[in-house]
Amino acid sequence: MGDKDYVLEEGPWAFDGHVLLLKELDIHEQPSKIEFTSARFWAYQIDILNPSKALKIKVDCDLQKPLRRGLMLKLNGTPSWFKMKYVKLPDFCYACSLLGHVYCGRELYNTDIPEIDLQYGSWLRATVTKKNAKVHEQEILQERHWLLELRDGSKAVKQKRD
């Protein structure tokens, strides 16, 4: 994989706590018309009953909407709530959960209120230890390998049809 592909696939990137979004430019596209309205993050869905179990997924986040704190999924026909933790999540507002600013609450709330019950916080960030980072890197490499196999397999099937 080349540097450009690595940068595009492994994003979004953060600079000084802010999200840095990159897209490949199509030769027929006007650069001024490209919209950067979403970012793809790795996230863990944490099982509330057994926090040691987690499902790692890639999530497309609409940057104009609050981050999801979790997902309601049906397991064996029973709705269950799963908390989300995002990997490499840049700075975001704990009051409104939007990326791009740290905290809008100072202007919105009376400072005499001793504590504001915020629905978002640092707990939305997945802590990545060196051990977890190595496992995460191995999983990404395995996923890339599978995608290349799928891509190459579909090319082989297409060539056989032609």
Q: What is the pLDDT of residues 1-59, one digit of tens each?
A: 678 888 777 777 777 878 888 888 888 888 888 888 888 888 887 765 565 677 788 88
Report pLDDT for 123: 84
**Domain layout of the chain by residue ranges:** 3-127, 128-162
pLDDT digit string (tens) for 103-144? Answer: 665 555 554 544 456 778 888 888 766 555 555 566 666 666
Torsion of the alpha carbons at 132, 138, 142 and 143, rounded to the nearest 10: 50
d(CA 155, CA 62): 32
Rounded-to-integer distance, Cα 91 and Cα 100, Å: 7
Q: What pTM did the predictor assign? A: 0.63
Q: Return the pLDDT at 151.
A: 62
Please tell me which residue, 158 or 8, carries the higher pLDDT value: 8
Tell me how far apart the alpha carbons of residues 38 and 23 are, in angstroms, rounded to a whole number. Answer: 11
Residue 94 CB neighbour total at 10 angstroms: 16
Reduced to 3 states (helix: H, G, I; strand: E, B; else coil), residue 93 is coil
Provide the 3-class DSSP secondary structure of residue 44. strand
- Do the Cβ atoms of 120 and 102 come closer than 8 Å? no
